[in-house]
Structure 1
Amino acid sequence: MKRYPSLPTVSDAPRNLLSGHLWLLERIDGWHLRFRMEESGLLRFGDRETVYDDPESLPIGYAHAVRHVRERFDRAAFRSAVDDVTDVVFFGVATNQRTIEYDWDRLPSFLGHDVWSENAGSFRPPDAAEAIFERLGLDPVNAFERERHARDFDPESYAVPSSAWYDGPAAGVVVRNKTGGRGVIRGAERSASVDQETGSDDPVEAVTAHMDREQLARIKTRIEGRGDPVTVDALAERAFETFLRERHQLVARNGGGRTLEAIRSELLDRSRTFLDDVDAS
């Protein structure tokens, strides 16, 4: 499966980047995720370094993004659009917490930014990639500007805009042209040493504050929207994926096997209590 090339800063990119018409895309502060569809219809995933035969083998923090793609990717539309489904590799971002506290309820679990054709040996232009993701049921990375003429763009004086996904500046801007050139203007990054909701560095304590009844109700609604039964196990598993996504930094600092099992156990208890209360009301 094609590996995504490293992304230079605009100042280090080839001079021909700033030519023609440019697309200015929001740089999302998340994890690299790529996938391809096999002839059987199975989606095969990879992170930046590794391709996994089994989607369940990816690091556990990817679970929410893998589920999102598997549930939404329109396999029938893809088959009808290409002669060989294995020719195409899709690239995007699994939107996990890193240095920015996004509005997680609005931000999709996966945002696509590139489409590679092995037969053509090239990436599709940014406008084509955006249309492809939308046609196949996935959200593309948002564009700050489309078709801006390079002569009207000065990267030295360009101010990174506000993010579309939280109240604050974007993590940066990816500058693209139609011939495959790309570079990044990075924004400021930030980090927190403790959980913002509890002031604690204990991820199990954070479950109580973060995975409240309102959050569980939203997850329950999403499961129902898929037409799936809302069981304790199903609710707890999706709550676990959501918690790992939205509190990844806290879990990463204290997320050994015992901690992860403790989080699972707490979420099972909370899911059971929540559904018992729903049934009783």
Structure 2
Amino acid sequence: MTSSGLLVFGDRERVFDDVPPPYQHAVRRVREQFDRDAFHDAVDDPAAFVFFGVAPCNVGVDYDWGRTPAFLGRSIWNETTERFLPIDRAEQVFERLGLPPLNTFQKEVNVRDFHPDRYAIPDSLWYDGPAAGVIVENRRGGSAVVENATVAEHSAREPIRGDPKSVANTVVTDTRLERAIDAVEGRGKPVTTDEVQARVFEMCACEEYDRLDDNRFDWDGLRSAIGSLVGVRLGERADT
């Protein structure tokens, strides 16, 4: 966050000038939910804090997207003290700011009792199956990931190929359209083609990423095709 209160987004490698399509769904949700007033009231220098989290995206695990949060807060770095906030404190901050924290499976595990090679990966909260992995953290901010190899082995889906119009016809489902309409209405906005189209595109880029991601994929073409299709669907909906 900048000193003026502007939220700045990035990934492990860079700060975004233009947010890539798979992250746009998460960025929208953070911007809508982040309680800037509460944050400014709680700290002296908003620009001193960096928020880390997970933006669930379909890279092989098909979550229950209707209930999976677009962003899950993980940790908070304080540039002034050059330390991460304690885990419990970070969870409280995320909740106060209106952002769900990453779900915790277990706390206060003695290092002598933890064996990564024998650790049983628990079930995920966000789909009917095991978690893709578990982040293990210590109180000093160090962390490691225990990955679930069995999830990666069974996660491949057939890619979606074709021109943007045919791809749009495949990915713009009734369920996604209704979710987008509900989201627009939930923000107290009129249900326009632009508002719904933006959300449907963001859902598709996130939830179908493993089937759409390709260096030559025409994201702009898909955005336009989804806009046209959403306009038709909304017109049909209004006539019924």
TM-score (norm. length: structure 1): 0.78
Q: Distance in 2 between matches of 1:172 and 1:152?
A: 19
Matches within 5 A, 1:108-123: 108-123=69-84
Matches within 5 A, 1:220-239: 220-239=181-200
Task: Give the counterpart of 1:270 among 223, 229, 232.
Answer: 229
Task: Give the counterpart of 1:201 among 133, 144, 161.
Answer: 161
Tell which has more relative contact order, 1 or 2 (C-alpha 8 A, sep 6+): 1
Q: Distance in 2 between matches of 1:228 and 1:92?
A: 28
Deviation of residue 193 (structure 1)?
4.8
Deviation of residue 212 (structure 1)?
1.9
Instruction: Give the match for residue 25 of structure 1.
Output: none
Aligned length: 236
Deviation of residue 168 (structure 1)?
1.5
1:65–1:255 CA distance, 2 compared to 1 (3 A): farther
What is the root-mean-square deviation in Å for CA atoms of aligned residues? 1.9
Matches within 5 A, 1:11-50: 37-50=1-14
Per-residue CA deviation, residues 73-116 of structure 1 (Å, 9 max, x unaligned), is 00001011111101100001121111211111111111110100
SS in 2 for 1:83: coil
Per-residue CA deviation, residues 187-239 of structure 1 (Å, 9 max, x unaligned), is 111442514xxxx5347444323322232011101111011121111111111
Q: Distance in 2 between matches of 1:73 and 1:154?
A: 37
Instruction: Give the match for residue 22 of structure 2.
Output: 61
Matches within 5 A, 1:1-281: 37-52=1-16, 54=17, 57-188=18-149, 189-190=152-153, 191-195=155-159, 200-202=160-162, 204=164, 205-253=166-214, 255-256=216-217, 259-281=218-240
Deviation of residue 183 (structure 1)?
1.7
TM-score (norm. length: structure 2): 0.90
Task: Give the strand-richer structure, 1 or 2.
Answer: 1
Given that 1:202 and 1:250 are in contact with CA atoms closer than 8 Å, whether structure 2 keeps it comes out as: no
1:236–1:86 CA distance, 2 compared to 1 (3 A): same
Q: Distance in 2 between matches of 1:97 and 1:87?
A: 32
Deviation of residue 154 (structure 1)?
2.9
Name whichever of 210-219 and 222-231 sits farther off: 210-219
1:185–1:214 CA distance, 2 compared to 1 (3 A): closer
Deviation of residue 254 (structure 1)?
6.7
Letter paired with 1:84: D
Q: Distance in 2 between matches of 1:213 and 1:273?
A: 13
Among the aligned pairs, what percent are the same residue?
44
Per-residue CA deviation, residues 250-275 of structure 1 (Å, 9 max, x unaligned), is 2212753xx32432233122211222
1:156–1:211 CA distance, 2 compared to 1 (3 A): same
SS in 1 for 2:53: strand
> Any gaps of 5 or more consecutive residues in structure 1?
1-36
Deviation of residue 151 (structure 1)?
3.6
Q: Distance in 2 between matches of 1:40 and 1:229?
A: 29
Given that 1:69 and 1:110 are in contact with CA atoms closer than 8 Å, whether structure 2 keeps it comes out as: yes
Letter paired with 1:273: V
